Amino acid sequence: MWPLLLVCVCGLLLRADTQDRASLWRGNDRGGRCQYTFTVPSPVESSCPQTGGPEVEGLKARLGLLEALVSRLTAGDTGGPQTAGAESGLQEALNRVVGERNLLQGEKERLERELGGLQSRMEEMRRETEKLRNRPCPPHTSMVPPSPSLGGSSVWEYRAPGFQELKAEVTEVPAPDGSEDNTGCGELLSVAEPVTHRKADNIAGKYGVWMQDPEAVSPYGPDMVWRIDTIGTEVRQMFGYEDMEQLSKGFPSKVLLLPELMESTGATLYRGCLYYQRRRSRTIIRYDLASESIAARRELPHAGFHGQYPYSWGGYTDIDLSVDEQGLWAVYSTSKAKGAIVISKLDPNTLEVKRSWETNIRKNSVANSFMICGKLYTVSSYAAPNTFINHMYDTASSQGKAVAIPFKNKYRYNCMIDYSLAQRKLFAWDNFHIVSYDLRLGRQQAD
């Protein structure tokens, strides 16, 4: 603070000595420090003299006095009542600034504590909302024990009202003995804990998509695993790994450069081709891996794109492509659907829409979705460590329902969840981490 005092005092002397004709400028020097510049025009001289003179000698005398004053201040010597008063004023101003800073710091810490409490409360309310949303309204009846004639099976008759049925409705009901089928189609019963295969090396891998081709085509085998990092505006590199072990080690055997930029984490592989959304458009591209060229392209009619109807986590996830036992699907929304999820079955060769279903699920209210056996499943939260698969829509019956299948976001930022028909697992990309989930499917029970 002493150099600033020197400049200010000097400015006052010059202004007084030149009848307020001195000019003062303030600005940053090259080092970013504040620098004051004074200009004092001479009333008689057109240029500065080459030698000294009374003016120079007078200026030297003033500078000497200022240097002595600064020396006394820095050495703690008051040097008189005026110097002591100036030092006292500076110290008082410093104390006031320090006090204000401490008050602001305390206020900041208090607000941060309140924010943390509000966030915790919001998360609790979100979990409660999910639970309530997944509970159907109870009929004006109550459940009675099963009839002995049914052999003790889990069938209930409804009669008088009761509250206990609310809890029973969200309890998982396993498939009948012998009906469980992990190799064929069925309704999703449960999702296991996530298994981590690899963590990304740099910031480009915070978001991404990874996949396997369920019907691989030469020259790539069925064990080939592909990965695309989707951070940035130039998303076009596709990394191939010989198998899961090479993926976990981070040793790609092939790198492809997509001819057109990709957007979001909604890409998928099928029959030797990558299907993805072209950046800033509703155009879907079919890219042939063997020839490394575009085999087909088509606009998805009326589909929102580039942030119009994304999932709740964002990421321009307007169009989500996936493959299951029934073929190639697109999950998106349109202005006509007003943000509700639309499911379209696509021709894998021409990309033409074969049939569409409009659901009542708001796309931006769910974190992600995936298709299994012609059924759409949505995940409630991308960040909550313990969340639910909360909706199921069956394209076979054109009917949807609320479900409550526990799901874990281990790393608390899940930007991609897809069903891998090749491994019959869920593949996910959770905050730099490539993870998978084992599934349990069961045949639907007859009504």
**What are the tens digits of pLDDT across the range 243-287?**
999 999 999 999 999 999 999 999 999 999 999 999 999 999 999
Q: What average pLDDT is seen over the chain?
A: 81
The CA distance from 70 to 190, in Å, is 78
Q: What is the per-residue pLDDT for 141?
A: 42
Instruction: Identify any residues that bridge with 358 across adjacent strands, giving them in sequence order.
Output: 342
What does the pLDDT average to over 163-169?
Answer: 37
CA distance 249 to 9: 67
- Pairwise pLDDT comparison (16 vs 337), residue with the higher score: 337
Average pLDDT over every residue of 285-304: 98
Cα separation, 184 vs 188, whole angstroms: 11
Residues 293/345, Cβ–Cβ less than 8 Å:
no
More confident residue, 174 or 369: 369
The H-or-E segment that residue 405 falls in is strand 399-408
Predicted confidence (pLDDT) at residue 86 exceeds the cutoff of 70:
no
Residue 123: how many other CB atoms lie within 10 Å: 14
**Picking from 243-247, 285-289, 374-378, 440-444, which range would have the lowest pLDDT averaged per residue?**
440-444
> pLDDT over 90 for what percent of the chain?
56
DSSP state of 97: H
Mean pLDDT of 236-246: 97
Cα–Cα distance list, 158 to 155, 175, 257 (Å): 10, 21, 61
For the record, the structure tokens of 114 come out as 């309140």
Question: pLDDT for 313-336, tens place per residue?
Answer: 999 999 999 999 999 999 999 999
pTM for the whole thing? 0.61
Mean pLDDT value across residues 113-123: 78
Residues 192/424, Cβ–Cβ less than 8 Å: no
Which among 254, 255, 265 has a CA at the least distance from the CA of 229? 265
Q: Mean pLDDT check: name the lowest of 19-28, 63-72, 264-273, 308-317.
A: 19-28
Cα separation of 351 and 285, whole Å?
8
Q: Which domains does the chain have, with CATH numbers?
A: 199-368+430-435 (2.40.128.630)
Q: What is the pLDDT of residue 54?
A: 62
Mean pLDDT on 222-228: 97
Two tokens, residue 276 = 């993805």
pLDDT at 374 over 80: yes
Whether 102 has a pLDDT exceeding 80, the answer reads no
- Contact between residue 204 and residue 233 where contact means Cβ atoms under 8 Å apart: no
Tell me how far CA of residue 52 lies from CA of 47, 49, 64, 252, in angstroms. 13, 7, 16, 77
C-alpha distances in angstroms, 340 versus 261, 318, 319, 382? 27, 11, 13, 19
pLDDT range class, residue 46, cuts 50, 70, 90: low
